[in-house]
Amino acid sequence: MKNSIKTDDGAGIYENLRLELRRGCLIVAVLAQLKTERYGYTLRKALADDGLEIDESTLYPLLRRLETQGLLASEWREEDKRNKRFYKLSPEGRKILKQLLEEWRSINASLERILHEE
Amino acid sequence: MELIERYLQAVGFWLPKTQKQDILAELSEDIRSEVEDKESALDRKLTDAEVENILKSRGSPIMVANRYLPQQHLIGPVLFPIYRLVLKMAFLFYAIPWLAVWLCISSYIPSYHAQTPGDFIVGALHGLWVVVLYTFASVTFGFAVLEKYALKSGFLEKWNPRNLPSLRAANRIKRSNSITEIVALVVTCIWWVSFMLSPVMVNRPDVRIVLAPAWRYYSWWIVALIAVTIATSFLNLLRPYWTRFRAGMRLATDSIGWGMFAWLCKTNIVAEIAVRNVSPEKTLQITNAINFWMGRSFPIIVVIGIAIALMDIYRIFRVKTGPNSCLGGLASICGMSASL
């Protein structure tokens, strides 16, 4: 059939869509976790403990981008005899997080309604 | 721990100098935290193999570094479809005609003749390669400049739905085309019947040009073909959509016309040229030269005839399958006119 999808392609498409869906959610989750100051490794563990696994090569570039955008503030500090970079939500980040959460809730509610209709 | 240092060094190789130390310090800290976590869970030092697994799970150094680098592209997703279309057009309307011209030149001009078929192929490929490379490079360079400077000006945002091309109807025949065809063919027919039927083309006291007897057959065939084409064009004017019958008629008239022209090239069509005050040897030389070059033109006429016949066949196929076939899509990409 013309429009049928091969199983392998289907898996690839699902993976791409899953990553796309996760991308935005991860930003919200990272911002929300950083209401409390954390360094990279503990942030990753905290996210994983809450069910959101994120690999370090995704997390650290994301943290840098969010910091460049002014949503996070960071500082190097010594802890347990090692230098660690601690991140925290900036006032601007707090404002954006609030807006993003409102948007996310609105999308979620719409989706719930749509799925309920089905 | 040497493995970790080597890993960090490899990642650092790809990082920009300004951020290198900062990124490596954070990455190093993260790896060491993970190692420590695992060591405290196992209550022993990790083996080299276990450290190796940790590093492997993080991805290759270039991939890890790549995540920190800004996303760069020469031609971005907005311009890329236009870039691809322009490249196709450039190859279709520049590289392919270039190849055709080159083949003609190397066949007809003695100084371009290749000594062996191998030399001929190598020469053609070398020339084509240079043309393709220059075409590709200049189009790519142009679009890279557009991407860097012009895209920011928002020129793609300045558009109006009213300026979009009108709907394509692949099998529609423009009435203006049919009228032009009829007028041109009627004028040609009158001229042909008045002046071209006799093999004696010029018969003045100072000049006489006579064609071979084969010309008689050829000229009457041309009259017949023009008459049929005028009739078809009239039908096209009244019903401005190609049908299989009319598309088939166009294929037949074009094939016969070009076939006869090719045959004419091989018939030593100029029989006699006589010019006052010019020696018969000289006029014979001119006659032979014209016939020789007509004969040499035979392959070109055949190629042009085949190309036209292929377009006619494509038209029949398009009428049969409808404008939405994949070939229709190809035609629209190639910018082929619906009135071909």
Q: Is the CB of residue B35 less than 8 Å from the CB of residue B5?
A: no
What ipTM was assigned to the predicted interfaces of this complex?
A: 0.78
Q: Is the pLDDT of residue A74 over 90?
A: yes
Q: How far apart are CA B52 and CA B156, in angstroms?
A: 50
Q: State chain B's mean pLDDT as an integer.
A: 86
Q: Which segment, A87-91, B63-67, B323-327, is predicted with the most confidence on average?
A: A87-91
Sheet holding B270-275, edge to edge: B200-203, B207-211, B270-275
Confidence of residue A6 (pLDDT cuts 50, 70, 90): low
Q: Please, are residues B30 and A60 in contact by the beta-carbon 8 Å criterion?
A: yes
Contacts of B23 in chain A (CB under 8 A): 60, 64
| B58 contacts in chain A (CB < 8 Å) | 55-57
| Chain B hits for A60, Cβ within 8 Å | 23, 26-27, 30, 67-68
Return d(Cα B247, Cα B29) in angstroms, integer.
75
* Angle, helices B244-265/B214-238, rounded to nearest 10 degrees: 160
Dump pLDDT digits (tens) for B96-142.
888 888 877 777 677 766 677 777 778 778 888 888 999 999 999 99
Provide the pLDDT confidence category of residue A81 given band limits of 50, 70 and 90: confident
The nearest CA of chain A is from the CA of B33 a distance in Å of 7
Nearest residue of chain B to residue A81 (CA atoms) = B29
pLDDT class of B253 with cuts at 50, 70, 90: very high
Provide the pLDDT for residue A79: 86
- Is 0.80 topped by the overall pTM? no
- B32 min Cα distance to partner chain A (Å): 10
End-to-end CA distance of chain B: 72
Q: Which of B29, B34, B58 lies closest to A57 in CB terms?
A: B58
> How far is it, in rounded angstroms, from Cα B5 to Cα A101?
40
The yes-or-no verdict on residue B205 having pLDDT over 70 is yes
pLDDT at position A8, please?
A: 58
User: Per residue, what are the HEC states of B251-269?
Assistant: HHHHHHHHHHHHHHHCCCC
Question: What contacts A69, CB < 8 A, 6 or more positions away?
Answer: none
Beta bridge partners of B203: B208
